[in-house]
A and B are shown apart, each in its own frame.
Chain A
Amino acid sequence: MPELDDKRLSFKLVYYGPAQSGKTTNLLRLHDLLAPELKGEVMTMETQDDRTLFFDLLPLGFRAPSGLLIKCRLFTVPGQVAHDGTRKAVLSRADGVAFIADNQRNQETNNAESFRSLTENCARVGIDIEHLPLLVQFNKCDLPTAVPEAEIRSRWGSTPWPLQFASALNGLGVRESFATLLALLYRRQNAEYALAEQHGLSEAAFVAGLLGQA
């Protein structure tokens, strides 16, 4: 849930998905591509053979016209099945989720399994997935083994979640995915925190503030 004091409002966004689907790569590319007013370093906690054991953290922020500091902290979960307890702890208190799927045909089972674990863990940590800002990104679209976009759209088209296609390694679709998630986050939180009314933040300004296009 967002943390608010009189000077700052902090959101937590979680990059969730199966092992080696590109969650950390998304974060690293975002760090390179975005230029918000405030941008921290990517904090990589602990890795083993280049695989996340705990989490990665990228902090971003900008100041609203009202002077309120809007902070957005992006976390990744460890994708490996064994780290479910860690995954659940990282997912706790999330305000939005980017589900990073590995869009290769032989990874479909892993994607489905990970998505199932997302819904289960949401329920366990008290997140209502029905109302959670959630974006689904199909990553590694540049690979020859990738499932064609049309097929994905026909299969996922009926779900309520926006779909994005990306090649995180090449920086493609990463920024768009994040922007889509931010728009969902704004729509979910605007009323509660009076972002437009009290802080002069429109949806476009909110997204632009964190992307760095202001």
Chain B
Amino acid sequence: MNPSGFDREWQLGELLDSAQLSRLGAALASLLGGDCAIADGNGQPLLGHIAPTARRQAIALELEPVAILHSASADDRQLAAAGELLHAVLRAQVRFRMASALHLEAIAEDFESLKREHAHLLESEARYRKLAAELDARVKAQVAQLEERQQMLYEAEKLASVGQLAAGMAHEINNPLGFVRSNLASFQRYLTQFAALRGRLSADLAAWQELDLDFLVEDGGDLLRESDQGLERIARIVGDLKAFSNVDRASEAFTDPNDCIRQAAAVIEAQLPAGISLQLDLLPLPSIVCLPGHLKQALFNILRNAMQAITDSGQPGTIKVSSEATVSGLYIRIHDTGIGMRPEQIEHAFEPFYTTRPVGHGVGLGLSTARSIILAHSGTVSLSSQPDAGTTVTMTFPAPP
């Protein structure tokens, strides 16, 4: 039940307040010849005194009487007419009351609806704000990634141009190298023949000895051997340069990177001096499309660096190779317990021709070659190291789609 609802059955007391009722009662009394009393639907008198002899006229708005008009002075006709008047007044009143009560309820409902909609709007505004913030963050992240990629691309370009230069140089050097080596070999034979001359000069060695040709033949041979070694070294450097610049393109293959690790490890294991051990800790990896030869070269270069770092420390040590596949990609780590690197060394470690070794013991192409190979496989390589505590090189490759 709702006593305040517009649809309640209105009582006389609600429809007319006492001031309205007394004014109306006075007017009706005049019409009715002096006596007028009004009671509500339950017979409760609200105005005037009901005389025992009074005639009564019930007034209904819906089904049941809402008011009862009493008069002792009026006749039936007068009472009926006055009843009609009162009915008209009450009917107008009830329409007004119901309409205004309904209006208030409707306004309250509309207000509730507005509040609900307002809450929805606030909610969706918050959602959009959050979305905007997320989008902003994503745009920033993408921009950062783009910048990083651009930087990497720039570095790769730089390396590529160095590589092109190196490839050109290697090609140019190879030709003279070939004929110089060939000439030296011929000259070696000539020298042997020249030495044979001494046997023929059994009697008169004065001129031979005077010219100190014994020393000349001996030292000439040494010089030629040394030169040959030098040339061989040059040839090796040129070979490295060619590999660095990817002159010898290999064909792509669908390969398990762990196989590349094992093969590179097998090569380096044969070269390990006493006191250095190699440990493989490989978890299953998915196969990727790669240049296996190049990848092996990169791994070999890093393994060789690890070996040299341990040798340099003058202590026994271990090279640990581990691999794993995660949702973010494939990881290969090569850790050594060697001499480690200082921050400024780390900074330049990947630059071509940067080396900490004495001239003649390394050209400084190992890591930069490794890096350009890894970049060519859409991978990354990073290096963490502490002096005297060892070095870890971490390679990542994108997971196959």
A residues lining the B interface (CB < 8 Å): 1, 3, 8, 10, 12, 38-40, 43, 45-46, 54-55, 57, 59-61, 69, 71, 73, 75, 83-86, 88-90, 92-93
The answer to whether A71 and B63 touch across the interface, beta carbons within 8 angstroms, is yes
A90→B63 contact, CB < 8 A: no
A12 touches B102 (CB 8 A): no
Q: What's the nearest-Cβ distance from chain B to residue A103, in Å?
A: 29
Q: Flag the segment in B103-111, B247-255, B282-290, B360-368 that touches A.
A: B103-111
* Residue B225 lies at the interface, judged by CB distance under 8 Å to chain A: no
**Among B7, B63, B110, contact of A75 (Cβ-Cβ < 8 Å):** B7
Kindly state whether residue B99 has any CB partner on chain A within 8 Å. Answer: yes
Contacts between the two chains (Cβ within 8 Å), count: 70
B62 x A89 contact (CB < 8 A): no
Q: Within the assembled complex, what's the spacing in Å between the Cα atoms of A86 and B113?
A: 12
Q: Contacts A46-B99, A85-B107 known; A40 to B2 CB distance under 8 Å?
A: no
Shortest Cβ gap from B111 to chain A (Å): 8
User: Among the interface residues A60, A75, A84, A88, which one has the most CB atoms of the partner chain B within 10 A?
Assistant: A88
> In the complex, what's the smallest C-beta–C-beta distance from B30 to chain A, in angstroms?
29
> Which B-chain residue is minimally distant from A58 (CB atoms)?
B62
Query: What is the CA–CA distance of A45 and B98 in the complex, to the nearest angstrom?
Result: 9
Residues of B within 8 A of A38 (CB): 63-64
B65 vs chain A, min Cβ distance (A)? 11
Q: Chain B residues near A54 (CB, 8 Å)? A: 98-99, 102-103
A17 to chain B, nearest CB (A): 18
- The verdict on B388 contacting chain A, using a C-beta distance below 8 Å, is no
User: Does B13 make an interface contact (CB < 8 A)?
Assistant: no
Contact with A along B84-99 (1 / 0, CB 8 A): 0000000100110011
Q: Does B329 contact A (CB under 8 A)?
A: no
Return B186 CB to nearest CB of chain A, in Å.
103
Pairwise interchain contact A93-B2, C-beta atoms closer than 8 A: yes
Contact for A10 among B9, B94, B102, B109, CB less than 8 A: B9
Contacting B5 at CB < 8 Å: which of A8, A43, A93? A93
Please name the residue on chain B nearest to A10 by beta carbon: B9
Contact B110–A85 (Cβ < 8 Å): yes
A-contacting residues of B (Cβ < 8 Å)?
1-2, 5-7, 9, 60-64, 91, 94-95, 98-99, 102-103, 105-110, 113
Chain B residues, Cβ within 8 Å of A88? 106, 109
B187 to chain A, nearest CB (A): 105
- Known A10-B9, A92-B2: A40·B60 in contact at CB below 8 Å: yes
Residues of B within 8 A of A83 (CB): 106
- Given A54-B99, A71-B63, A85-B109 contact (CB < 8 Å): yes
**A89 B60 Cβ-Cβ under 8 A:** no
A71 to B64, CA, bound (A): 10
Minimum CB distance partner of A89 in chain B: B105
In chain B, what residue has the closest Cβ to A62? B63
Q: Are A45 and B9 CB-contacts (below 8 A) given A89-B102, A89-B109?
A: no
Q: What would 20 A/B residue contacts be, using CB atoms closer than 8 Å?
A: A12-B7, A40-B60, A40-B61, A40-B62, A46-B99, A54-B103, A59-B62, A69-B63, A69-B64, A84-B109, A85-B105, A85-B109, A86-B109, A88-B106, A89-B105, A89-B106, A89-B109, A90-B102, A92-B2, A92-B7
Nearest B residue to A44 by beta-carbon distance?
Answer: B95
Per the bound structure, the CA–CA distance linking A1 and B1 in Å amounts to 7
- Chain B residues with CB below 8 A from A69, complex form: 63-64
Measured CB to CB, the nearest residue on chain B to A12 is B7
A8 contacts across to B, CB distance below 8 A: 64
Q: Which residues of A contact B64 (CB under 8 A)?
A: 8, 38, 69
User: Would A73 and B7 be within 8 Å (CB), given that A40-B61, A85-B113 are in contact?
Assistant: yes
CB-nearest residue of chain A relative to B114?
A85
Complex Cα spacing A55 to B2, Å: 18
Instruction: Give Cα A12–Cα B108 distance, bound, in whole angstroms.
Output: 21
Cα A39 to Cα B2 with chains together (Å): 24
- The interface residues of chain B lying within 8 Å CB-to-CB of A73 are 7, 62
Q: How far is the CA of A93 from the CA of B9 in the complex (A)?
A: 14
Which A-B residue pairs are the 9 nearest by beta carbons? A85-B110, A89-B105, A85-B106, A59-B62, A85-B109, A86-B106, A38-B63, A40-B62, A61-B63
**A46 CA / B102 CA spacing, docked (Å):** 12
